Structure 1
Amino acid sequence: MDVERSSLCNCVVNFLLEEKYLLTAFELLHELLDDGRDAQAIRLKDFFSDPSQFPPDQITRLNSLRVADPQSLLEEKEAMEEKLAISEYELRLAREDISKLKAELNKKTETPHEESSESNIDVSVNHGPEFQRQKRDSSLYDLGPLKDNERRDLNCAVKEYLLLAGYRLTAMTFYEEVTDQNLEVWQNSPACVPDALRHYYYQYLSSTTEAAEEKIAMLRENESLIKLNERLTHEKVFLLKNKDLADGQISTLTRSLEALQKDLKDKESLVQDLKQSLEHQRKELNDCRAEITALKMHIEVSHLGRNLVASNVDHVQSQSLEKYKEDINSLQKELESLKAKNRIAPGSINSINSEKESAQTEEKVVEILEDKSIISHPVDAASEVVDNLVYQLQATQTFDDNTDGSEKVSQELSINSSNDISIFKNGENVSKPNGDSQSEESRLPLKSDNLSGEANPEKTGLETIQILADALPKIVPYVLINHREELLPLIMCAIERHPDSTTRDSLTHTLFNLIKRPDEQQRRIIMDACVSLAKNVGEMRTETELLPQCWEQINHMYEERRLLVAQSCGELAEFVRPEIRDSLILSIVQQLIEDSATVVREAAAHNLALLLPRCPNVEKYFKVEELMFQLICDPSGVVVEATLKELVPAVINWGNKLDHILRVLLSHILSSAQRCPPLSGVEGSMESHLRVLGERERWSVDVLLRLLTELLPYVHQKALETCPLSDDPETSGTTFSTSLLELYAGGHVEWPAFEWMHVDCFPDLIQLACLLPQKEDSLRNRTTKFLLAVSEQFGDSYITHIMLPVFLVAVGDDADLTFFPSRVQSRIKGLRPRTAMAEKLATTCVLPLLLAGVLASPHNHEKLADYLRKLLIGGSMEESTPTKRNEIFNAIRFLCTFEEHHGMIFNILWEMVVSSNINMKISAANLLKVIVPYIDAKVASTHILPALITLGSDQNLNVKYASIDAFGAVAQHFKNDMIVDKIRVQMDAFLEDGSHEATIAVVRAMVVAVPHTTEKLRDYLLSKIFQLSTTPTSASDVLRRREKSNAFCEAIRALDATDLPATSVRDFLLPAVQNLLKDTDALDPAHKEALEIIMKERSGGTFETISKVMGAHLGLASSVSSFFGEGGLLGKKESTEPPQEPPKSPNPLPPLPVEDTRFGRIMRGNFTDMLRVKVKSQEETQNP
């Protein structure tokens, strides 16, 4: 069908061109292009683009009438690109069809004519279509001119085809262009058939061999398409079957997943039941321990009776012995019952074993006591038995809590004598048993001469710890916050010595939560306590007791507590195993780096730097490097400072992967700028290459450039250490000598650490510079500082032979590359701009870096001066376009941000000022205007103003007018009285010329300075406007009158926005407004409305009288006050324009207020409703 449509279309195109229906052909061209049928429009485009048919001057004149709309052009471009893609696809299909037809044609021609030569076959194949076309054309010409009925039939057939094909606009044009025939009615004739053109085409095909072959090809193509459709249908059915099978498998897997989830829930419930059972058994075990404690208290009471029976030992000996035996038997029964309970409970195996050992120990004690045949002191013996029993119970508790058996719980608590927690003093050293099972004979005997006995220090100390642990949680809340640190020794002692792990966890929690929001000093005290505790308890208890408390505090609501955790990570890392440091502690630090509080992230960076040297394993290096870059790009400056000063050196020394850090750093710098949107969406413009940086991206690039500067010493040191020519005595210093660079240029050594700077770093910085618009001076300044640091670090030889050539090539200048190896020279040459757009980017973006960062190094001042003279005074400035000059001025403007270069720049500028070249003087004035914002008042008085006065006195008008704009820039930035007086004198000199151009230039230059200058200069400008507006202007030159009027109106509107004195308003502003309102022909309507509003605001109640006078002068039927009436223009805008304050007195000419300030006008404008009522009442009073 596409071939048929194309053939019919080609027939119509040929007919329209042969019959000279050009309007219809032109309309058909546009509709074909809109329809995406560019292939059929080729002949029409060639015809209408033929210069002989349509002269270029006429086409240019017609094209200039069209207003170029960028948006419509962009839309047309996108549409054309889409159509081009479609056309390319259709062209490819057409070429494939042509190749198939050629192949079939070759087969058919070779079969009947085998005897014909190969050359004839090639000619017929290669030139067959053209020959047939010529044959058809000649046959058409042989038929003679068309008859009227033939023309009518063809016209009707073409019109019918255009309507059926959807080209309605072309059909309408064709109908209008055929004026001698009525195409609406087609008379009955043999040629009048439905879809006539297609029938003609089919008839033609059936009458020629070529047409028959074309039809056969179309039928074959149709058959192949039908087969392809059937194959796709079969594939669709097969895919549907596969989809059904996949759906069945998915449903089966879903059911199995649900079953597994159900089993998982059942197991989770079982685990919960087991946990509850375990908690219940632990509770029972605690109850048993409480009973044991009660028995111990009972034994203590029995000890008190020993002194009472000492005097009558013989009498009560047997009774006391029996009594203690009964007590021991009762205790033994209690222990057996506890043993039975522990067998039933599914508690821990360690607890059951400890209870068994305790029972066995008690039985052993009883047997030893019963087997003794001679007891010299029964009371002491019984006391010893009870003490032994108490000791065994204590040992059992210690074993249950998994404490160290060799722990010296018997040490006197008097070591904390400053806290007064010692409750006994013992004059002799009593050795304590350890947790292992020992026989009774191994224990030291009690003194036989002390009948009263002594309390066991071990037992007493443990009880004291128990009492302390129970009391501390109750005491802490009632101690003042500022004095709670005094409890730290007690808490530390209890944590260190208490045998119960649960109690120790509770006390450790109390230690971390001692103060709700601790300050810096309080955190330091708590951290010192934690470090001391970690030293005493060892690695295992630090990992199991202190670190879990840190983990629990990570998400605490108070940042002071999270800060305490961050500070503890680095200091406690010394007291845990290495594998814990790079797993648990690193995870804590990683989570703290994500914290919302700045102080927490700063502390995390600091403590990560402390942690790294204690991590011997560097498997987590890339994770740590990622954390480092995350902290570098942190939005807080203090976090960035901590990272740069502490973490970055720690990461480099720990991981020893400087190359990887540098590679990732450059990638981050470029990607941060490249992901920003372009400055303009118009492709091909310079703004489309520049990027609009957001605050976040600008900050990221800035801190990454700072990091690059911080890494520079490491890069320099590594380049020196890896120098393959280190035996050379000249390389022993800290810089790179010329002889070393010559050896490097020979290309016989590999020195990647040295090449990184000029092969990777400088090109990436140049690429970054080409993404920064002109306003990004802060980032350009940061890059310049880095380049200056490179100059200082690497030395003069490196700057001259390596660094300077790279940037000279990048800006398009010639450079000496002899100090680069041949393999590097090609990469450096690739930096040269190849297109006009690249040259513009290089001048705008790279030239400032060359001037301020490379040539501005301390030892290159002469080179900088020579290069500036080449730019400004050499022939390149005169040959350059205005755009190129502005780009050079922008580069010098950036150089002026560094104050040390001002003297050099002004010396060159003075050479330009005194030059005889007019263009150079104009350039000097423009450059002075550009650099004014970057100098101080002293420099402006001593350098800028003398140069401008010299230029202002020049005979050439262009030089003089250029200096006027520069004077305006000086007035805008300086309020010094001496500078202002000099400007006034010079402006008077300009105005004395009396030329129209000078007057306009002075007024517009001063208008720019109005919002920023002094009151003296504003009054001066206002007085000059009044004088100039009073002077009559030539009535014949309307354009000049309008230009002057517009300039004066802009100045008055700018002055009205400032706080003018009342005298200036009365003497100059209002009369100047009146003078401008007189010349209505030269006044722009917008300016006229603004001036009348100013008149109304500034004149108060006198406006009606002034308006009447103005109406008489201007010859208006109704005064200007009707402009503000209910039916006037501004009367209709009363709801949006705030009404002004009415006059204070009903008199028609009240006195002016002392001073009408901008604040007062704003205040009047805000009280709209109140003032509207006052205005109405005032009008009624004035018009009785």
Structure 2
Amino acid sequence: MMDVERSSLCNCVVNFLLEENYLLTAFELLHELLDDGRDAQAIRLKEFFSDPSHFPPDQISRYSSLRVLDPQSLLEEKEAIEEKLALSDYELRLAQEDIVKLKTELQRKEDLTQDKSSEPSVSNHVNHAPEIHRQKRDAPFSDLGPLKANERKDLNCTVKEYLLIAGYRLTAMTFYEEVTDQNLDVWENSPASVPDALRHYYYQYLSSTSEAAEEKISMIRENDSLKEANESLNHEKLCLMKNKELAEGQINALTKSLEATQKDVKDKENLTQDLKQALENQRKELNDCRAEITSLKMHIEGSSSLQNPVAANLDSTQSEAIESYKEEIKSLQMEIERLKAEKTNISDLVDSSCGDKEAIQTEEKVVEMDDNRTQISHHIEPAEVVDSNTLVMPVQTFDNSTPKPEENLPESSMNPSNSTDGFPDGRNLSQQEEKPLSEDSGLHLNSENLGSEPVPENMGLATIQILADALPKIVPYVLINHREELLPLIMCAIERHPDSSTRDSLTHTLFNLIKRPDEQQRRIIMDACVSLAKNVGEMRTETELLPQCWEQINHTYEERRLLVAQSCGELAEFVRPEIRDSLILSIVQQLIEDPATVVREAAAHNLALLLPLFPLMDKYFKVEELMFQLACDPSGVVVETALKELLPAIINWGNKLDHILRVLLSHILGSAQRCPPLSGVEGSVESHLRVLGEQERWNLDVSLRMLAKLLPFIHQKAIETCPFSSVSESNGTLLSNSILELYAGGHVEWPAFEWVHVDCFSGLLQLACLLPQKEDNLRNRITKFLLAVSECFGDSYLIRIMLPVFLIAIGDDADLTFFPPNIHSRIKGLRPRTAVAERLAILGVLPLLLAGVLGSPGKRQQLADYLRKLLLEGATKESRSTTHNMDIVNAVRFLCTFEEHHGMIFNILWEMVVSSNIEMKISAANILKVIVPYIDAKVASTHVLPALITLGSDQNLNVKYASIDAFGAVAQHFKNDMIVDKIRVQMDAFLEDGSLEATIAVVRSLVVAVPHTTERLGDYLLSKIFQLTNTPVSSTDVMRRRQRANAFCEAIRALDATDLSANSIRDFLLPTIQNLLKDPDALDPAHKEALEIILKERSGGTFEALSKVVGAHLGIASSVTSFFGESGLLGKKEITELPTEPVEALQSAASPAAAEDTRFMRIMRVTDMLRGKGKNPEETHQNQ
């Protein structure tokens, strides 16, 4: 091998020297090859220098007299140099002198050639023959271009290095002198500069192809073009940096301007707040004046309506009182006019500062005055309200026979609920009414007159006051289930009490009526709040109701926080619009972060109720972010509420479906792409698949559910934006063939429709190629979405649009007639280009094509045809690899997760089972194995087992072994006695075959099923292993014996972990272990140790463990275990039934400390053996 390599390298150097016209070096190399006896490598050089076309004989004879090198003398010199290394300097000097002589001779030869005019053609031929030869050799590689300077330098240095390594020193010196335009002593660091370069080039050439070389050359050229592009990009970058600096300067200037503007706005806001405060103060004064005037008016009306016997005597006095009242009223009217003017000025200032047009329009109406009902808005001190003397003097003369004033008052004045002016806003009225008129006037009324003539207004306010004082004391002593009966009283007191602090206290009582209200109680409380908000108006709802509710946002009990969430949605209707999308929205946002699931669910529900009440759209993106946050909540209840209620509400309110879809697709792909790859090997299939965490899997599942929820909106928008609505449809559906034909013309745009098959399908295909095989739940979500798409858009869309997209995505051909020309490139871009991409398409896209596209109800026959083509015709292709077949099997497995396709799949499987193609039968066995988890016992008995029995009787061993694995899968999933019996019969047939491979396959297939199957199958496997281990192994091959022993050991360890009967342990398990221990050469050390522990636990070691437990409870020394151990008396009695020789050998090999069995069942099984057996204390003492 080394000679061949050496010859190849030498030939490479010879070719290079001749092609580059280094004739002196080639001539020197010829002599050195002849000196070394390498005539085979010198043949070409001999032919070249003896060729008359290169060197004519007459020219050679003319130079025959010239001195040439003697090969014999050179050989002697070489031998002398090898023997005497001290003469190396002399050799170098001699070689240099020879080179000078040769150069002189060559120069003379060239001069003589030029002087010979009689032989121009011959000379020309001699001079140009090597060049012609080199051009001929270069012809196949003419497309590579001329050698560059760095390439020639690398090749020259490589040849020089080879000549020195090969020992051709004279040739190397000649070559060094002949290459005059390059310094071969210095070889710069480059990719070509490697030790022993020529050998590396040679190996690289052998391992490459011409196509690879061409590809590399094209890559080099592309690299050059990229460098040029990079330079242009750098220049563009510099320009952009300059533009960026200019933009930053502009931004700084704009920032300063913005700050100044913000400062001005802040100043204006402060001014607005001051004006609002002034307005509020004026409003309070106005309300106080209203209350005072109402009280005065009622007193006036009461006085004017009184009829008594002494009225004639008091006419003058009464007239004076009336006149004084009129004068007082006129002064109050003037004061009202003044307040109106001030209020108008304040309103104008507020409107100009903040543009608030609502605050004054509804709350501050002009009070109209008339003769019958005078309304006055001016604050009057209590001492100035009434002239007590003029008011009380006529009253003192009344007696019991005088009619009561309340009998003559109109009904409207007696009913507090009909008074529009008195109670809600009369905050100072309560202070006035608390003092009897007699005290204010300084006169004394007798008890009869005082009791018989109460003022009606005073009586109503006093009742409200008494109710407000009593309710906080009554509520705690009312049963919780009956407290809602107090709500009408609480509401009445809150609505009509004039004092704000008392109303706040009562409102607090309302919200805290029940400590932890249930759903029904919360409903009652919230209905009361809604009713109260309707009656009291916006301002009081904002200032009294909502603050009391929101104080409980951080309450310990989640029921209270639920009230807060409900108030956000139900009370928002009764507050100003600007409060809804600011304060209330911020409260909802805080509730969304609540740790309680029910609170977050209520927040999502009430946010959906709140959205239609928002006056503007400026908070849309914040709301959309909250929606995605709720959709990715870890609680399924919150997610369901967000998808069912909040998502439609956002779409109907914001009308930004396109933005939601873009964000959703980005979220879906981002969640998967951020996960780590399944493998770190770059370029492998596993490096493209992602390992999904629990959070990422949940987010993807919710995102796909959201996409399915959005499908009706997508379909509706596609229909509404259809540009071909004038086309009449015979079948009543929009997306018929005629519509799709018009769409394919590409004359109009239809983005809402195009998004589905261009953007949405592309994103789902990318996601499918990122999901590993085990992510069936996510793949199932995608499939259901695709089925829903085909149902929404119709069969025409499914056949003309959906199917071509997915066929191209798996690498098949498809008809793009119904696609506009401008999107053809995007659809064709879905086709896999590399082998890795093709396998990813089979893994990820093929299951979706089968179950989600062809699996629609109307395409069952087309699915059957495609699947039959895939399984039957594809299996006959020899080029298809085993990995490719298993990927297709996995796709069919996923299709079997949909029960409606089972019948069609079994029909195709039977065709494969009865086929004569071996690969087709193996594929059928593999499919039967993987679909077992998705069928029931009836299908397994009627379809799977008959097919497996047919395959198990096949003569081909590969088919038989594949069916054995499938039988194991059936045993693993079904405990039906009939199925187990059929499996046992078939396994007996496999074991009768007697081959080692069949035996190992049967044992390993049943071992997998042992933890999941019945006890009968476990006993069957144990008995078969016992029979097999009893049979002597005739094979002398240690590896085959070891494979057999390993399979048996794995089965024994798996069976030991199950509950075996005592008979099975005695008759099969222990003898089997002893049989395996007889062949220690075939046992793995780990298996041997495990078998010894099992044997000790299942035999004598159990007694030792039990004795330790008993001794620990009774306080007996632990050394008493020797009485029960392997060497103890009882231990010997219990194991006498076993063969003595293996047990003794095991006892000698085992460690003194027996493994302690902690299994309760094993301890209980030996209790019967301890009964009636005495313990010898002396023997115990000796053992200690």
Structure 2 distance, partners of 1:944, 1:1179, is 63
Correspondences of 1:1112-1123 after superposition (within 5 Å): 1113=1141, 1119-1123=1145-1149
Shift of 1:364: 6.8
Structure-1 residue corresponding to 2:421: 407
Structure 1 distance, partners of 2:882, 2:151, is 58
Q: What are the superposed Cα offsets for residues 175-232 of structure 1, whole Å, 9 maximum, x if unpaired?
A: xxxxxxxxxxxxxxxxxxxxxxxxxxxxxxxxxxxxxxxxxxxxxxxxxxxxxxxxxx
Alignment-mate amino acid for residue 623 of structure 1 = K
Shift of 1:761: 0.3
CA 1:387/1:680 → structure 2, altered by over 3 Å: closer, same or farther?
farther
**What is the TM-score when the length of structure 2 is the normalising length?**
0.62
Structure-2 residue corresponding to 1:1025: 1025
Query: What is the DSSP-based 3-state SS (H/G/I as helix, E as strand, rest coil) of the residue aligned with 2:858?
Result: coil
Alignment-mate amino acid for residue 380 of structure 2 = S
Correspondences of 1:687-1086 after superposition (within 5 Å): 687-730=686-729, 733-875=732-874, 878=877, 879-1034=879-1034, 1036-1086=1036-1086
Structure-2 residue corresponding to 1:379: 397
Structure 1, unpaired ranges of 5+? 1-51, 53-122, 147-169, 171-266, 268-274, 276-280, 329-348, 412-432, 435-449, 1142-1157, 1166-1173
Structure 1 distance, partners of 2:998, 2:818, is 56
Structure 1 distance, partners of 2:1040, 2:975, is 33
Structure 2 distance, partners of 1:821, 1:642, is 40
Correspondences of 1:60-139 after superposition (within 5 Å): none
Does residue 1:1124 correspond to 2:1123, yes or no?
Answer: no
Query: What is the DSSP-based 3-state SS (H/G/I as helix, E as strand, rest coil) of the residue aligned with 1:682?
Result: coil
Structure 2 distance, partners of 1:464, 1:869, is 89
Structure-2 residue corresponding to 1:639: 638
Contact preservation (8 Å) 1:731, 1:740: no
Structure 1 distance, partners of 2:468, 2:698, is 52
Structure-2 residue corresponding to 1:358: 380
Shift of 1:718: 0.9
Contact preservation (8 Å) 2:932, 2:970: yes
Shift of 1:625: 1.3
Q: What are the superposed Cα offsets for residues 14-46 of structure 1, whole Å, 9 maximum, x if unpaired?
A: xxxxxxxxxxxxxxxxxxxxxxxxxxxxxxxxx
Correspondences of 1:313-712 after superposition (within 5 Å): 357-359=379-381, 362=384, 365=387, 379=397, 406-409=420-423, 454-712=453-711
Query: What is the DSSP-based 3-state SS (H/G/I as helix, E as strand, rest coil) of the residue aligned with 1:874?
Result: helix
Contact preservation (8 Å) 1:736, 1:798: yes
Structure-1 residue corresponding to 2:1156: 1139
CA 1:808/1:1061 → structure 2, altered by over 3 Å: closer, same or farther?
same
CA 1:408/1:1051 → structure 2, altered by over 3 Å: closer, same or farther?
same
**What is the TM-score when the length of structure 1 is the normalising length?**
0.62
Structure 2 distance, partners of 1:579, 1:1026, is 85
Structure 1 distance, partners of 2:154, 2:1088, is 76
Indicate the larger mover: 595-604 or 1101-1110. 1101-1110
Q: What are the superposed Cα offsets for residues 751-780 of structure 1, whole Å, 9 maximum, x if unpaired?
A: 001001001100001111111111111111
Query: What is the DSSP-based 3-state SS (H/G/I as helix, E as strand, rest coil) of the residue aligned with 1:707?
Result: helix
Structure 2 distance, partners of 1:623, 1:769, is 31
Contact preservation (8 Å) 1:410, 1:461: no
CA 1:480/1:1113 → structure 2, altered by over 3 Å: closer, same or farther?
closer
CA 1:381/1:126 → structure 2, altered by over 3 Å: closer, same or farther?
farther
Structure 2 distance, partners of 1:630, 1:901, is 38
Structure-1 residue corresponding to 2:80: none
Contact preservation (8 Å) 2:811, 2:832: yes
Alignment-mate amino acid for residue 501 of structure 2 = T
Alignment-mate amino acid for residue 787 of structure 1 = L
Q: What are the superposed Cα offsets for residues 871-917 of structure 1, whole Å, 9 maximum, x if unpaired?
A: 21113564311111111111111111111111111111111110011
Q: What are the superposed Cα offsets for residues 456-479 of structure 1, whole Å, 9 maximum, x if unpaired?
A: 111111122122222222222222
Contact preservation (8 Å) 1:1025, 1:1048: yes
Alignment-mate amino acid for residue 379 of structure 1 = T
Relative contact order, higher structure (CA 8 A, sep 6+): 2
Q: What are the superposed Cα offsets for residues 727-759 of structure 1, whole Å, 9 maximum, x if unpaired?
A: 001288344111111111111110001001001
Shift of 1:1065: 1.1
Structure 1 distance, partners of 2:401, 2:767, is 89
CA 1:783/1:731 → structure 2, altered by over 3 Å: closer, same or farther?
farther
Query: What is the DSSP-based 3-state SS (H/G/I as helix, E as strand, rest coil) of the residue aligned with 1:687?
Result: coil
Alignment-mate amino acid for residue 740 of structure 1 = I
Q: What are the superposed Cα offsets for residues 496-551 of structure 1, whole Å, 9 maximum, x if unpaired?
A: 11111222112111111111111111111111111111111112211221121222
Structure 2, unpaired ranges of 5+? 1-37, 39-145, 171-193, 195-269, 271-276, 326-345, 347-375, 426-431, 434-448, 1102-1124, 1167-1173
Shift of 1:128: 13
Query: What is the DSSP-based 3-state SS (H/G/I as helix, E as strand, rest coil) of the residue aligned with 2:998?
Result: helix
Structure 1 distance, partners of 2:812, 2:849, is 11
Q: What are the superposed Cα offsets for residues 615-655 of structure 1, whole Å, 9 maximum, x if unpaired?
A: 23222221111111111111111111212221111111111
Structure 1 distance, partners of 2:927, 2:147, is 73
Identity within the alignment, %: 71
Structure 2 distance, partners of 1:1175, 1:702, is 67
Structure 2 distance, partners of 1:837, 1:1080, is 46
Query: What is the DSSP-based 3-state SS (H/G/I as helix, E as strand, rest coil) of the residue aligned with 1:469?
Result: helix
Alignment-mate amino acid for residue 857 of structure 1 = S
CA 1:1163/1:1016 → structure 2, altered by over 3 Å: closer, same or farther?
closer
Shift of 1:1042: 2.2
Contact preservation (8 Å) 1:910, 1:947: yes
Structure 1 distance, partners of 2:978, 2:954, is 23
Shift of 1:1003: 1.4
Structure 2 distance, partners of 1:657, 1:528, is 34
Structure-1 residue corresponding to 2:1161: 1160
Q: What are the superposed Cα offsets for residues 556-577 of structure 1, whole Å, 9 maximum, x if unpaired?
A: 1111111011112221122222
CA 1:787/1:1177 → structure 2, altered by over 3 Å: closer, same or farther?
farther
Contact preservation (8 Å) 1:409, 1:458: no
Structure 2 distance, partners of 1:514, 1:553, is 13
Correspondences of 1:133-152 after superposition (within 5 Å): none
Alignment-mate amino acid for residue 693 of structure 1 = L
Contact preservation (8 Å) 2:424, 2:498: no
Structure 1 distance, partners of 2:153, 2:988, is 82
Shift of 1:672: 1.6
Q: What are the superposed Cα offsets for residues 298-319 of structure 1, whole Å, 9 maximum, x if unpaired?
A: xx9xx9xxx9xx99x99x999x
Alignment-mate amino acid for residue 607 of structure 1 = N
Contact preservation (8 Å) 2:832, 2:841: yes
Shift of 1:969: 1.0
Could you say what the CA RMSD is over the residues aligned between the two structures, in angstroms? 5.3
CA 1:379/1:977 → structure 2, altered by over 3 Å: closer, same or farther?
same
Contact preservation (8 Å) 2:424, 2:495: no
Aligned length: 815
Contact preservation (8 Å) 1:681, 1:688: yes
CA 1:369/1:1051 → structure 2, altered by over 3 Å: closer, same or farther?
closer
Shift of 1:454: 2.7
Contact preservation (8 Å) 2:530, 2:571: yes
CA 1:1059/1:510 → structure 2, altered by over 3 Å: closer, same or farther?
same
Alignment-mate amino acid for residue 621 of structure 2 = F
Contact preservation (8 Å) 1:731, 1:737: no
Structure 1 distance, partners of 2:690, 2:708, is 23
